[in-house]
Amino acid sequence: MPWFLNIGVPDERYAWVPDVFSEEECKEIILLGKELKLEKAKISKESLEDNSIRKCEISWLENTVENNFKYEWIYRRCTDAVNLLNEKFFNYDLTYMEEIQFTAYTEKGSFYEKHIDVAYHGNGHRKLSFSVQLSQRKSYSGGSLFLYNAKEPDVCEKEIGTLIVFPSWTLHEVTPVTEGERYALVGWTHGPRFK
């Protein structure tokens, strides 16, 4: 896997791999995400929109026969990166990944309040969450991914193409975007209950 240049891990509460996608690939993913129907984000697929908790737009990269597995390369790259970090740092039993979400923070003040990702979905429980930085760090202000493992949050890497992975029960947020536009991929991997 030549795109793994190094692995960053401050204390095994979260980990990251830079350059999972090149700058050109990130631009391509943004175009693919925008081609889909962007909808106002909800707290869950079933819930009502709540702009006091989350304000951004999303679409889903559905990798299906109907679209000729158009997103296969994105799923493969994310799966490889998550598996690598899981084997090195978390060692969880993982069985599958949910559909990947394309997220657009394009309005000034777009954000996602503190939350956790733990959920039961299909045949498993969310164990690891991941986020991929698609925007150049200089193209926006604010919009930081904060992970709360202590009183002061860990501020995640903003380099384009970086994949960050963390346990799904970690309290986290995306701070308000104050200028520009922030794009990301978000995903969740599942496995059997912890014993």
Distance between CA atoms of 64 and 60, rounded to whole angstroms? 12
Distance between CA atoms of 91 and 98, rounded to whole angstroms? 19
Distance between CA atoms of 113 and 111, rounded to whole angstroms? 6
DSSP state letter for 87: I
* Full-model pTM: 0.90
With 80 as the cut, is the pLDDT of residue 15 above it? yes
Structure tokens at 110: 């777009």
pLDDT in tens, 71-122: 999 999 999 999 999 999 999 999 999 999 999 999 999 999 999 998 776 6
How would residue 46 be classed by pLDDT, with cut points 50, 70 and 90? low
Superfamily grouping for domain 15-40+55-191: q2cbj1_9rhob like domain (2.60.120.620)
Distance between CA atoms of 163 and 9, rounded to whole angstroms? 12
Range with the lowest mean pLDDT among 11-20, 72-81, 144-153? 11-20
Count other C-beta atoms under 10 Å from residue 180's C-beta.
16
Identify any residues that bridge with 97 across adjacent strands, giving them in sequence order: 189
